[in-house]
Amino acid sequence: AQSVTQLGSHVSVSEGALVLLRCNYSSSVPPYLFWYVQYPNQGLQLLLKYTSAATLVKGINGFEAEFKKSETSFHLTKPSAHMSDAAEYFCAVSVGGAQKLVFGQGTRLTINP
Amino acid sequence: DGGITQSPKYLFRKEGQNVTLSCEQNLNHDAMYWYRQDPGQGLRLIYYSQIVNDFQKGDIAEGYSVSREKKESFPLTVTSAQKNPTAFYLCASSIKENTEAFFGQGTRLTVV
């Protein structure tokens, strides 16, 4: 069965610094991978997705993620953090034939002025 | 505007009462899902439906029930058998397998 592990339940960075949120997946077959963002008391919004095309995926709000099969990772990055990036971020995996998504535990991102 | 509508946003119920959460989508998506979110536990799948009149249990279905009589509607009933019903509930839909899910704004249920 597929699973997702997000390393670090809470990440804090300074405004303008690099954002790196880690996600590792477990799957016996090529996965589809997603990053979502959630603001307080809101639903989830898709940031980006990997569907076996380019391994470097660009998303909204300046975020991008790189699929590394050898490391079973799909880490999310942003070169320069903005105060508006403060939110909770979820990594999710879906495997062919299984329509449901499996989510990681989430990482809360705090931006320090 | 196309999207997923959950209502109400906040819901309070007394212990022992059943309560139904509404989820409607106008995206013409075949698949719909219900997730429960608790602090520090991410999202856990309660039920999902890939087609009208069919649904499957997720990881934490005990104490919950659903129906899918129409493509656009997937209501969730939290029954009195659910031991800890207080949580944030999220409904989602997707057009087909392995595509992204679109989420509603959530319903925060508090049982007192």
User: In the prediction, which pLDDT does B98 show?
Assistant: 62
User: In the prediction, which pLDDT does A74 show?
Assistant: 95
B42 vs A94: CB contact, 8 Å cut-off?
no
A99 vs B102: CB contact, 8 Å cut-off?
no
B100 vs A44: CB contact, 8 Å cut-off?
no
Q: Measured between alpha carbons, how far is A43 from B106 in angstroms, rounded to an integer?
A: 6
Instruction: Write out chain A residues lying below 8 Å of B6, CB-based.
Output: 43
Contacts of A28 (CB under 8 A, 6+ apart): A2
Average pLDDT over residues A20-31: 87
User: In the prediction, which pLDDT does A53 show?
Assistant: 75
User: In the prediction, which pLDDT does B1 show?
Assistant: 65
Which residues of chain B fall below pLDDT 50? none
For residue A61, the tally of other CB atoms under 10 A from its CB is 13
Residue of A31 and A78 predicted with greater confidence: A78
Q: Measured between alpha carbons, how far is A34 from A41 in angstroms, rounded to an integer?
A: 21
User: In the prediction, which pLDDT does B20 show?
Assistant: 96
